[in-house]
Amino acid sequence: MAEFSIIDLYFKRTSKTDVSLGIGDDSAVITPPTSQQLVICADTLVAGRHFPVDTSAHAIGWKSVAVNLSDLAAMGAKPHSILLALSLPTIDHDWLAGFSQGLFDCCDQFGVSLIGGDTTQSTQLTISVTALGWIEHGQAVTRAGAQVGDYICVSGQIGDAAFGLQHLGHALQKRLDYPTPRCLLGQQLKTVASSMIDISDGLAQDLGHILKASDVGAKLFLDQIPIDKSLKLLDKQQAWHYVLAGGDDYELCFTISPQNFEKLSRQQLDVPITIIGEITQQTGLLFEYMGEIHPLHVHGYQHFA
């Protein structure tokens, strides 16, 4: 089957009205909204590296979109569309049907269109998605705005996906296979959060990116981090490894002043948020458990390990 037949059969759909030209030409054409900035991100997933090789095609399609929408959410942007670059070892129609359905299920849930991309043959299954979103001029939330005295907060639960990866078949595997990008929350945070990042490589490592960019330190309250009941049954060191270094949560970690947190708490949010620490003047990341400093050495996901 030719490349364009695959595209027509599995990936061609009617685009949004503000997409002047979608799939079927050399490039897509979008009409930008007035007074908005374009926010762009890209992620690549490799079979056996970013997901187990026996992961369902539907889950791979969903996750390929979700991890990119999570990056947009971390900037406070409203997702708009994606581009897909798909490298396939073989043409497997059952797999393509499941993958495209998972991809479009995620797109549909978050109001996103597939507007272009590329397909080719490769020795290894590789999926690269570029996501585009919009945000009001000057309102993008970066990693560099954390201030001393800010709260450190997270959405949802942390450590679920890492636990699910090590316990395939457990209910928490769904959090690994079907992460939920916090798109609405990200947009609600754009006017109140001082810095933000999505948790993809482990809470400690990703929070560390905020600390470095903002030139501040932090104290993390280990006993305040929201975790699933399955992790609470584990040895504390093992649970902390999943929570701090596991990654693949795709929850939002953000800093916010106490005053703005009060404003946020009066809004209706679609996911729980929890204060898990505070920004400090002293650089570095300290861990506190039950009121006492607890030394830990953790490393997040390494892409070239």
- CA nearest to 89, candidates 37, 125, 39, 41: 125
How far apart are the C-alpha atoms of 215 and 193, rounded to whole Å? 17
List residues bridging with 155 in a β-sheet: 273
Residue 46, helix vs strand vs coil: strand
Please answer whether residues 86 and 133 qualify as being in contact, where contact means their C-beta atoms are separated by less than 8 angstroms. Answer: no
- Please, what's the b/e burial string for 9-48 (b: 16 or more CB within 10 A of its CB; e: otherwise)? ebbeeebeeebeebbeeeebebeeeeebbebebebbbebe
Give the whole-angstrom CA distance, residue 128 versus residue 38.
19
Please name the residue ranges forming H helices in the chain: 3-6, 57-73, 93-109, 160-166, 173-177, 183-189, 203-214, 229-232, 236-245, 258-265
The closest of 175, 180, 173 to 270, measured between CA atoms, is: 180
Residues within the annotated binding site for substrate?
50, 248, 301
Q: Which residues carry a binding-site annotation for Mg(2+)?
A: 26, 43, 71, 118, 198, 201
Closest among 259, 238, 67 to 162, alpha carbons compared: 238
Binding site members: 26, 43, 50, 71, 117-118, 143, 198, 200-201, 248, 301
Binding-site residues for ATP sit at 117-118, 143, 200
Question: In angstroms, rounded to a whole number, what is the distance separating the alpha carbons of residues 216 and 63?
Answer: 33
What CA–CA distance (Å, rounded) separates 222 from 99? 38
Distance CA(123)–CA(207), nearest Å, equals 36
Q: Are 158 and 253 in contact (CB under 8 A)?
A: no
